[in-house]
Amino acid sequence: MKKLPILLTALLLTGTVATACAQQGHGGQPAPASVSDIPDEAAPIFVPNLPRELTFAGERVPLEYAEVREALEREMTVTMYLHSRTLRTLRLTTRYFPVIEPIMAKYGIPEDFKYLCMAESGLDPNTVSPVGASGLWQLMPSAAKDYGVETGSNVDLRFNVEIATEAACKYLRDAYERYGSWTLAAASYNAGLAGVSRRLEIQGVKSYYDLFLPEETMRYVYRILSFKLLTERPQKYGFYLRKKDYLPAFENYRTVTINAQNIDWSEFAAKQGTNYRVLRILNPWIRSYEYANKSGITYTVMIPTEGFRENGK
């Protein structure tokens, strides 16, 4: 029984020390009151603060719904802490947004759909998914065929940024005409027109935010929204990019056309004063060293000019 007062005293002291440690933080320093109080040299992990209001393509996101906020916080956290991939994607915005934005405007597609492109491929035109979706817009072979985009093992125009953007815009325009909602059009880019339409009919709802979908599609629009928030205010979410950190658009190139048969791309590159490596950087739709081109199709090829390899210096 004499041990009881000693034990109680020890517990009280432990609690006091624990409280003091919690107040001080690591190393005896005061614990930060907010994320903004964390020193610059630290790498804080924090739950992102969401804005009070948010729209996608002019359509309101109902952040007052608990499940909507939670879903967006989840995707924001995933996107924020995939550091290397997200940083690379942010750096590429200055290279590819100037290419895709005018095409989107031509088709009347809201600018927010450029964030769909970020979510799909990380703005890497060479991306190939395990299921065969390819290019900046991750077009499936069937969708490419529907919109007249050539695919193949030697030439695949899904990897041509301009051509793929045209096809994606045509799809999104068709989806909007069907649903009357840009948010549902975005969801259908992942789940397909038939998949979204069938679930809308079965569930008897009209809004994406009322629709139950497969998990991948349930998360898809929120992933797009996460890229919108990060791109518009990167520093708020822990990404500090200087102007020089953004990658430049490709400059110092000319275009030529070719419709010859039995094309040897290395030989073609050499005749144009460059090499196969640089040719592939500018033309990722070229997928092999040779191409028979039996139909004599005409292709427009980007050729580097003086100063191309010094871009961004």
245, 270, 295 — which closes off a domain?
245
207, 224, 245 — which closes off a domain?
245
Q: Are residues 155 and 280 located together in one domain of the fold? A: no
Mean pLDDT of the chain: 89
Res. 259 pLDDT band, cuts 50 70 90: very high
Res. 114 pLDDT band, cuts 50 70 90: very high
pLDDT recorded at residue 182: 99
Position 2 pLDDT exceeds 50: no
Res. 46 pLDDT band, cuts 50 70 90: confident
Domain that holds residue 84: 55-245
Res. 309 pLDDT band, cuts 50 70 90: confident
Asked if residue 12 belongs to a domain, the reply is no
pLDDT recorded at residue 198: 97
Q: Are residues 85 and 200 located together in one domain of the fold? A: yes
Q: Are residues 167 and 303 located together in one domain of the fold? A: no
Q: Are residues 132 and 196 located together in one domain of the fold? A: yes
Asked if residue 217 belongs to a domain, the reply is yes
Asked if residue 113 belongs to a domain, the reply is yes
Q: Are residues 198 and 283 located together in one domain of the fold? A: no
Asked if residue 48 belongs to a domain, the reply is no
Amino acid identity for residue 241 in this structure:
L
Q: What is the mean pLDDT of residues 140-153?
A: 96
Q: Are residues 239 and 169 located together in one domain of the fold? A: yes
Q: What is the DSSP secondary structure assignment for residue 142, as one 8-state letter?
A: H
Asked if residue 28 belongs to a domain, the reply is no
Candidates 99, 56, 54, 55; CA nearest to 185 is 56
Q: How far apart are the first and last CA of the chain?
A: 78
Candidates 148, 172, 179; CA nearest to 224 is 172
Q: E-assigned strands of the chain?
A: 55-56, 59-60, 253-258, 263-264, 290-291, 299-304
* Strand 59-60 to 253-258 pairing: unpaired
pLDDT recorded at residue 22: 41
Q: Are residues 73 and 130 located together in one domain of the fold? A: yes
Number of structural domains (the chain) is 2
Q: Are residues 237 and 168 located together in one domain of the fold? A: yes
Length of the chain: 313
Contact status, residue 115 vs residue 225, Cβ threshold 8 Å: yes
pLDDT recorded at residue 8: 41
pLDDT recorded at residue 13: 42
Annotation marks residue 70 as catalytic? no
Residue 30 buriedness (CB in 10 A; 0-12 / 13-18 / 19+)? exposed
Asked if residue 29 belongs to a domain, the reply is no
Position 68 pLDDT exceeds 80: yes
Q: Are residues 240 and 260 located together in one domain of the fold? A: no
Global pTM?
A: 0.84
Q: What is the mean pLDDT of residues 93-117?
A: 98
Q: Are residues 145 and 181 located together in one domain of the fold? A: yes
Q: Which of 23-32, 41-50, 232-241, 292-301 has the lowest mean pLDDT?
A: 23-32
Res. 48 pLDDT band, cuts 50 70 90: confident
d(CA 189, CA 61) in angstroms, rounded, equals 18
Q: Are residues 166 and 197 located together in one domain of the fold? A: yes
Q: What is the mean pLDDT of residues 204-213?
A: 97
Res. 39 pLDDT band, cuts 50 70 90: low
Candidates 164, 162, 169; CA nearest to 151 is 164
Asked if residue 196 belongs to a domain, the reply is yes
pLDDT recorded at residue 36: 54
Exactly one of 64, 67, 120, 150 is catalytic; which is it?
Answer: 120
CATH classification of the domain holding 198: 1.10.530.10
Q: Are residues 115 and 236 located together in one domain of the fold? A: yes
Three-state SS at 53: coil
